[in-house]
Structure 1
């Protein structure tokens, strides 16, 4: 009763909505909530902790304490502690945040397009392509780096609350210690009565006892996966150099530390055919573990640049690269791709996708256009220059004296207007060297925000202001971007004819 009372006295709300009891609150990551605690008659101030951090009330008014808290930017199980009593709740993912599936999909799309575009690069050496899921790949390593912290949380949740089963085992014990008599015990006694005085119970009776066992199929399979993962990480440590090797070794040591836990020492690695059990289907933690290891071996695509260090761990940077490769894909499918050698660099170790921050990567098209990633404009640039500051837009399409700038924005759901306002510096600040005229015709934001009723996404807005937003989501429809590129090509052809 005390726990329910304490939890029921703690209320949450967001954006001025109605107060909701803690047990009924739906929390999302990266969100600020107002909280209210109704004090008991003798209470002066409550003791409230969230994720181990004390929450101090802003004010106490008429027997009620008020404050604010912000949920961390991750989803999963969290705890409130109210007056020493712990309450469990859950933080759900923000809809604006990309899922791990989308993250993996972007990696796969980037490497797949890089492999196809290599045919247009005029580079003599080839890219090694292997579809075997057990081979090392940049996509798999990036997946491990991006999701290893979440795996750590899952494993510790399993260690703290593993599934278990009651197992029966037969053993002989003194008759006064037998607690349960089942059919098997009675059958044994019938068979062994003749060995003692007739009509008496033997001094020692064979009875069955039931004990909790952690040696379940799910725990055994999880241990097998962890053993395989440690071996895989050791392979990455040997196959790479520098910072990658150090991190791979650290991850392998972490997995080894988990396997040394007393819980896993009670479990034997599973040997046999893998199946999806009901625990893997319904238990939230075990289901997440199954999904994590299932995705781990689905990254056996093109092995491009295992030792190359561009910031794939940062989702916004990966989204920028993915958008650039999607634009290249659209032009390629239109038969316009001519030279893609600017996407790659070659070393003695092999060929690497070369899309680093502030490195100008250029792809040439058959119609004379050029696609640039992280192109630099400054006061002393040869053809196009800036008169205020150095500018490095993410994606630039160059057609003669015209520039079209696309800027991927990973999270701008609530401030699209502000993000578009920043695009004015590109449209107004980049000039042609020979006549000082503005060179940028269009500026657009690419965003995973769904195409909704906002004017920024509408064609009328695009045509009127020559700027706006285009929705582009991994796994989603790219038709809007394709339509805009079609319009751009028609516009450029008409301009050439007019000249």
Structure 2
């Protein structure tokens, strides 16, 4: 069936750019676009549905209806419904977003740091509650959730174009059907001829070459898929609610792949695993091998599955990662006193605790404290706010002074605006005993690398007690370490 098009009636543009018909528009996630619909003389106001929401025009003039829409914070296939006609489009990823590799790196960093911090807690229990939970990890489950769609695409390509080899096997056939005569065929004829004068027998046992999908690579992938289905069933049994439903849905999808006629012709591999040339050079098989390789690299990060924060939202994960990197710096200085605030215990075991608007506090040996999403309001103590309730992402408390960090992983060109919003913390959080301003420094943490911008320079930090610090997954923490060293020197000098 031919794909519908807008017929030149529906147009989009962004930021005063030129208008483009829907079929030629380049949409990116979390962006705002102006749309216009060209009406025929008899047409009424158009009904525009995008991502399930109705977008009514803001104005109608000279036979054209104008409106505005915002793309969701995800990429992929989307649909417009214009007066009952469905039109497909595509939303491309925001180039400012972190890569999927950085997402998994943040997960790994957080969960590798957690057991090290646990040693400084006063909790008398283990990281895991029973032997069953040792086989599962939060990092592994999050990896499955984030990357299962990419595995689906890889398997679809693999099933459509699998590798195959010619395999020879012996078969009885009529002599006129023999296509090739090799040494084995001649030896069989010699053994089975009744006399030297006899001609070739009516039926001959000869070698036949046929295409086979039962290659090493296909056999290993079938083994990996069987293991993945079993793993997903374990997650389904250990999870609750929506997590259990999703794990079972993933397991059913893997079972559907295994029932494909291609995989039914393949025997699961049982031997020692090695990386073949196909896994090294074939683009699809290489991606598939890498997907499973990353899956099982999460095995060393043993932490409970239950969690209350939205790991699938990268901005929330970046906030937690920044907090844990700050804790890591203080831990490496030997200053952790009690990190029990990072965890919560249940009957199932011990879990990282980063629930939204619930303070997670790490106490240091020098009396300082590091809090995640600490709450300040008009009746809190020893610090309060005289305007609105405030919940900074990261707060360091050193006596009667506070140092605040606000992770912003998508800030690029509007650092000034973001820093302007930080003034509410500098001016609005006061000491209860004397109403003095309590916040000494405020900083934005961002993966943006912009050494040329003044907000990142030490002179700006020292002069205004605020600015931006670059903090990127996979890179060193030198900028944040330098700031912590300055803070410790200042605290010790007092």
TM-score by length of 1: 0.74
- What is the aligned partner in structure 1 of residue 153 from structure 2? 153
1:155-170 mapped onto 2 (5 Å cutoff): 155-170=155-170
State how far apart, in whole Å, the 1-side matches of 2:103 and 2:131 are.
19
454-463 or 192-201, larger mean C-alpha shift = 192-201
Change (3 A) 1:262 1:415: farther
1:124 correspondence with 2:131: no
How far apart are residue 393 of structure 1 and its match? 1.4
**1:230 counterpart residue number:** 229
Following TM superposition, by how much is the alpha carbon of 1:186 offset from its aligned partner in structure 2, in angstroms?
A: 7.1
Aligned to 1:46: none
Q: TM-score, normalised by structure 2?
A: 0.75
Count of residue correspondences: 420
Question: Where do residues 185-264 of structure 1 align in structure 2 (5 Å cutoff)?
Answer: 187=186, 191=190, 203-264=202-263
8 Å CA contact 2:384–2:432 kept in 1: the answer is: yes
1:108 maps onto 2:108 in alignment: yes
Unaligned runs of 5+ in 2: 1-14, 16-25, 32-70, 77-90
- For the 8 Å contact 2:185–2:205, the answer to whether it is kept is no
Residue 82 of structure 1 is matched in structure 2 by: none
Instruction: Note the 1:44-193 alignment, pairs <5 A.
Output: 96-128=96-128, 135-178=135-178, 180-184=179-183, 187=186, 191=190
- Asked if the contact 1:133–1:300 (Cα under 8 Å) also holds between the matched residues in 2, the reply is no
The CA distance in 1 between the partners of 2:276 and 2:72, in whole Å, is 33
- Does the residue aligned with 1:120 lie in a helix, a strand or coil? coil
1:275 Cα deviation after fit: 0.6
Question: Comparing 135-144 with 325-334, which one deviates more in the overlay?
Answer: 135-144
Check 1:134–1:227 CA distance in 2 against 1; reply closer, same or farther (3 A cut): farther
Counterpart Cα distance in 2 of 1:360 and 1:472: 23
SS of residue paired to 1:151: helix
Q: Does the CA-based 8 Å contact 1:28-1:71 persist in structure 2?
A: no
The equivalent residue for 2:374 is: 375
Per the TM alignment, residue 218 of structure 1 is displaced from its structure 2 partner at its CA by 0.7
Distance 1:413 1:130 in 2: 45
Distance 1:134 1:386, change over 3 A: closer
Give the superposition deviation at 1:205: 4.7
In 2: Cα distance, 1:242 partner to 1:342 partner: 26
Q: Residue 455 of structure 2 contacts residue 461 of structure 2 at CA under 8 Å; is this kept in 1?
A: yes
**CA 1:190–1:409 in structure 2 vs 1: closer, same or farther (change >3 Å)?**
same
Alignment gaps of 5+ in structure 1 = 1-14, 16-26, 33-69, 76-90
Q: d(CA) in 2 for partners of 1:221 and 1:94?
A: 36
Q: How does 1:465-480 map to 2 (within 5 A)?
A: 465-480=464-479
Name the SS of the counterpart of 2:271 in structure 1. coil
Q: Secondary structure in 1 aligned to 2:135?
A: coil
RMSD: 3.6
For 2:307 and 2:347, the matched residues in 1 are separated by 13
2:378 is paired with a residue whose SS is coil
Q: Distance in 2 between matches of 1:140 and 1:215?
A: 29
C-alpha change, 1:208 and 1:186, in structure 2 (3 Å) is closer
The answer to whether the 8 A contact 1:330-1:482 is kept is yes
Q: What is the CA–CA distance in structure 2 between the aligned matches of 1:286 and 1:434, rounded to whole Å? A: 66
Change in 2 beyond 3 A, CA 1:471/1:139: same
